[in-house]
Chain A
Amino acid sequence: MPHLASHYAKDGFILQQLVNKDFKLRYRRSVLGVVWSVLNPLLMMIVMSFVFSYFLRGSNVENYPLYLIVGNVTFGLMNEATSTGLRSIIDAAPLLKKVRVDRWVFPIQKVLSSVVNFALSLIAVVIVMLFFRIAPTWHLAWMIPALLLLMVFCAGISLLIGALAVFFRDIIHLWSVLLTAWTYLTPIFWDLSLLTNSNAPWIVTAVVKANPMYNYIDMMRCAIVYQTSPGSTVITLAVLWAILALVIGVLVFRKTEHKFILYI
């Protein structure tokens, strides 16, 4: 039986091959190879905590370097998944013009590749925990639902913007602006208590708390940094954002995918 019988088996094998390819190409001909995925977040953390830890004296963040690196790698996962997902259909143009292949595999593959990279950067997180002698508790298990929900969220967004970028190349520019703005809106290097302590209007705090990335990062930090269970509001919002993104993404993708070939 040369051909895979089921559709899903075929798509699964294609996904595996594409993730494999991205992984190999990322590190080909680099001396340190995979080590860069670990080194990158570590170096970033060192530089950022060198400066920002002094700003944050007023807040009640303990283990600031760990707080920072968890925020950075979690946001980095979304950043990488969506900005590569954005171009995934356009970049797959030569392929889509040649063979029949389910189009959704391309944005989804970018999310999976980003998760592989995220998994490697977790080694950096472990190094930080070892360095500061922070032992994990069973709360670490919260990482799994947090990661899964974030993956669903990223998949939805990637399907949506990947499809839209085919018709309007503006989205590519718009998205990079949006990502930068999003970085500042999310408490990655600052802490929410800085807002509440300085009597910021409720609307500002509300926007930051509703921000999907705040909720995913908070879940991750609960698991790794605070070692408690995330609050119910955070969990609810994380679930809602994931479902909303996926539903919109799938709907838009399915409605537009038949026209891709005419625009790429």
Chain B
Amino acid sequence: MTDTAMPEYVIEVNDVSMVFNIASEQLNNLKEYFIKLVRHELFFKEFRALKHVNFKVRRGEVVGLVGTNGSGKSTMLKCIAGVLEPSEGNIFVRGNIAPLIELGAGFDPELTARENIYLNGALLGYSNDFIDEHLQEIIDFAELQNFMDMPLKNYSSGMVARIAFAIATVTEPDVLIVDETLSVGDVFFQEKCEKRIKNFIDSGNVTVLFVSHSMEQVERICQRAIWIEKGEQRMDGLVGDVLKAYKAQFA
């Protein structure tokens, strides 16, 4: 593939809104549903988690998402990862995504670590041959050589997180989505994870979306920041300017 064939933007978020219906009461059964339907009482309260968000990210850019709790950052990330579908607008992502938002999709506590690596790998879109080839690499990174044939239910949560991180980052993705709340394992392993993410960033091929409440971390890692507040996109620009404005709201 030549460079000219590469589209300019890796992530395009076009006028995205996300609406959740909050039922005034839980209707999980048919009888209640039909009674409400007949009485015309099927009212839903609408909650707009995202309101007309627009941004584009170029290949290799490192973008921080900031905002207070419940402002819609996670919803935004889940829309980009394809877990949620936006109610309005559309999202294009070119290439494969490594969503380090919620790790270990499909992990089954009864299966061994080895079996779970294949299952999770399938869900991430890896091929069987690829997992065969990189199995040792994954095991080495997680540093759990002696526990590979033990059911996952006997693992500590830190050990599970190690494996999950190792699988998700075994190959260099086109788009990496990192949530700060993801603190994996002990201090030593955290350093190892950060180093791997840093390598991805330094390669220049990986586009990174980074969510964090730590201003210093965002400032250190990102060049650009987007501030989302109560579902609205407040600002999009250089990291210094955005963080200054973000902090100013509390002053």
Contact = CB atoms under 8 A, between A and B. Distances in A.
Contacts of A254: none
Interface of B: 20-21, 28-31, 33, 81-85, 96, 99, 101-102, 104-106, 108, 110-111, 115, 118-119, 122-128, 130, 134, 170-171
Contacts of B111: 21, 24-25
A258 B85 contact: yes
A131 to B, nearest CB: 36
User: Is chain B's binding surface mostly helix, strand, loop or mixed?
Assistant: loop
Given A99-B105, A100-B83, A168-B28, A17 B119 contact: yes
A160 B122 CA distance: 25
Interface stretch (A3-11, A56-64, A112-120, A178-186): A3-11
B148 to A, nearest CB: 15
Q: Give the size range of A's interface with the partner.
A: 20 to 34
B127 A95 contact: no
Interface in A98-147: 98-101
Nearest to B103: A98
Contacts of B118: 17
11 contacts: A2-B130, A10-B125, A14-B123, A21-B108, A28-B110, A95-B123, A98-B101, A100-B83, A168-B29, A169-B29, A261-B84
A13 B127 contact: yes
A238 to B, nearest CB: 31
Interface of A: 1-4, 9-10, 13-14, 16-18, 21, 24-25, 28, 94-101, 168-170, 258, 261-262
Contact of B102 (A28, A97, A262): A97
A24 B115 contact: yes
A76 B110 CA distance: 26
B184 to A, nearest CB: 15
B29 to A, nearest CB: 5
B83 A96 contact: yes
Contacts of B20: 262
Given A17-B118, A24-B115, A168-B33, A3 B84 contact: no
A9 B83 contact: no
A2 B126 contact: yes
Contacts of A100: 81-83
B115 A21 contact: yes
B130 A1 contact: yes
A222 B170 CA distance: 53
A2 B133 CA distance: 10
Contact of B125 (A3, A21, A95, A169): A3
